[in-house]
Chains A and B, each alone.
Chain A
Amino acid sequence: MKFGKRLKQQIQDSLPEWRDKFLSYKELKKLVKLISAAPTRRNESWRSRNESLKYGKAESDFVYLLDIEIDKFNGFFMEQEEEFVIRHENLKQKIKRVVDLWGPNGIHPSEENYKEEMEKIRKAIVDFHGEMVLLVNYSNINYTGLAKILKKYDKRTGGLLRLPFIQKVLVQPFFTTDIISNLVKECESIIDTVFPAEEAAERAKEAIVVAGEGIFRNTVKALLTMQEIRKGSSTQSPFSLPPLNLPDSDLIQSIQLNAAVPIV
């Protein structure tokens, strides 16, 4: 139930619109339990019809639900992806406009306006970047959940669903996150141009205090959750992910989530 709990936590900590788009892990687990509770082999004809029907139903329900979930992921993911693509382009254009208009070499150089706009833009970009990363996280955590539930299924029913099914999942749109990853990287390079030159010093300390709102909070939580999930599998196998090695994990932990700011 560890993963289930973590997943629940993640869901709670995620953006509100996203909350019902995650994997219905619990539901699937119930079905697996149901299937293994009526372990009639279809081949054994002497079993009562009812039992084998129940078995068959639970199993088909399971598969059906899996399919529905995958569709859900795909739909949501691609929708978000589309929006991000649009927003990305808009941001770039906006930056261009601001620079062209109020920038030092612009038509109408105005340091004050420029500064003000740039500040807004910076915040927007960072948040945008964060949202995209959270989408990638969404994709990943759902994948993880699927892998786990399939593993459970195979274990409980002795079936061979996992391997072929996961192969299909690997090529699903929601898991092929290259577009978003590219956007994220582009964002990072834009940020470098938009941020003033680095100034060392106490930024970490100050910043920590400010932290804990919105997207940032989500990101911190996501990282921590990932760390937890990969802490060490009770059923270590060639299919298990190694534990997460996060440098600065204490820093992250210290960015406490004493967030008084509710996520809106």
Chain B
Amino acid sequence: MSSSSPVLPTPLDNKYMKPPDSFQLSPIREMTVNPSPLQSTSSNSNTRSTGHTFSSPDVVSFSSASQHERQHQPSSFVSQTLGEDSVSSELHSATFISQPQESDEISWGPDPFQDMLGFPENVSVQHDQVENGACYTNDDNVKQSDFGEWVDKLMSIDDSYDPNWSQLLGDDNESEPKPKPIQQQNVPSKEVKGLPSSPSTASQTKPRMRWTPELHEAFVEAVNQLGGSEKATPKGVLNLMKVKGLTIYHVKSHLQKYRTARYKPETPEGTSEKKLSSIEEMKSLDLKTSKGITEALRLQMELQKRLHEQLEIQRKLQIQIENQGKRLQMMFEQQREMGDSKFKDSSSSSLDEPSNSEAPKEENEKLGSESCITKAGPGESSRDESTKQEMADEAQISVPPPTKRVKT
């Protein structure tokens, strides 16, 4: 398993930018990763992409299913099984093919999940090339045919895209401290998330940017510097903002939204027309005073506050419940494993060998020592039983320490 969390963002950073000290982007989607081929290893990535055409339809559909997860989980799985450098395509497809079978076991393995759980904390950490490979394979598996198309699109969007990119590179060290992530979560203030709404081209060209207030503030400032929302161009804004991983596409769509919002102010005539009937109602109920309206608004506000409060509480509860459940599950599994090995150890002498080799596999050394005890008295049922007892007792006692160890 890769030593670092299965996050795709920073591979890009690693490869093409100097170690950033501030703003980190976590493009979970590969949109930002893909530009890299434009820069250098285009041949490399092309090989990869063509390589993946070997994948069987089943494999592709599986990977597209996993793509839909919107999560790094599959990619972490992938990154585990695939190497970072150009691995032979056969290996790729082979490992990928093996996955569907595993997935039949319903859970995609506990490991990637555990890895993922570490995700929020590790997002801004530098990652090694492994994820890079994962990024490539992830994309390529699903969109190999579209890759070239996408590249063309990208190149045509903005002729000076490359200079933009290098400018981003150049400005890397001077990235504004302003947009620095200040979130209580450990997630950086923006993330690029791809949106594989369908395993088609659309998803590749529509990476999702999570616009936080800080990011938006930087945006607004850039726009104002450029003379307002009408005059500002996406390119200009992008350059001014100097935010890693931000693409012109993101800026474009955001600018559009911004423009519409400005010219359709929060108190538009439209809504007042709709609400006309209710206003009439209010009037008819003898509440012509603005005081009445204000009070009504207050009540509305109160209720909304209430709902929000409850929602937050509920959410916290839900998270707690799941964490609890996770812990319980882990403990339960441990107990079961230990129970299993105990059972195997004491069941028959012939099983002593395999059981001994099994026990050491456990993370707990105590178990290993327990199996030694059994070996001492093979084939004697009474003795086995007493050993079983001993082991049971030891197992009970030894549960707490293992829990600590197992928890990553």
A residues lining the B interface (CB < 8 Å): 42, 56, 59-60, 63-64, 67-68, 70-72, 74-75, 78, 81-83, 85-91, 94, 115, 119-130, 133, 136-137, 140, 143-144, 147, 157, 159-161, 163-168, 170-173, 175-179, 181-184, 188, 191, 195-196, 198-199, 203-204, 206-211, 213-216, 219-220, 222-223, 226, 230, 238-242, 244, 246, 248, 252, 255, 260-261, 264
Contact = CB atoms under 8 A, between A and B. Distances in A.
A244 B293 CA distance: 30
A207 B299 contact: yes
Interface range on chain B (Cβ under 8 Å from partner)? 35 or more
A238 B324 contact: yes
Nearest to A129: B304
Interface stretch (B87-95, B155-163, B187-195): B187-195
Contacts of B211: 78, 81-82, 85-86
Contacts of A59: 104, 106
Contacts of A182: 213
Contacts of A184: 308
Contacts of A171: 71, 116-117, 119-120
B385 interface: no
A164 B106 CA distance: 10
Contacts of A129: 301, 304
Contacts of A126: 297, 300-301, 304
A246 B308 CA distance: 12
A74 B68 contact: no
A228 B107 CA distance: 32
A133 B65 contact: no
Given A207-B295, A223-B303, 11 more contacts: A59-B106, A75-B197, A123-B297, A136-B312, A163-B322, A167-B117, A171-B120, A203-B295, A203-B298, A206-B287, A208-B299
B277 A133 contact: no
A94 B103 CA distance: 53
B150 to A, nearest CB: 19
B301 A170 contact: no
A71 B68 contact: yes
Contacts of B376: none
A74 B193 contact: yes
A176 B188 CA distance: 13
A181 B317 contact: no
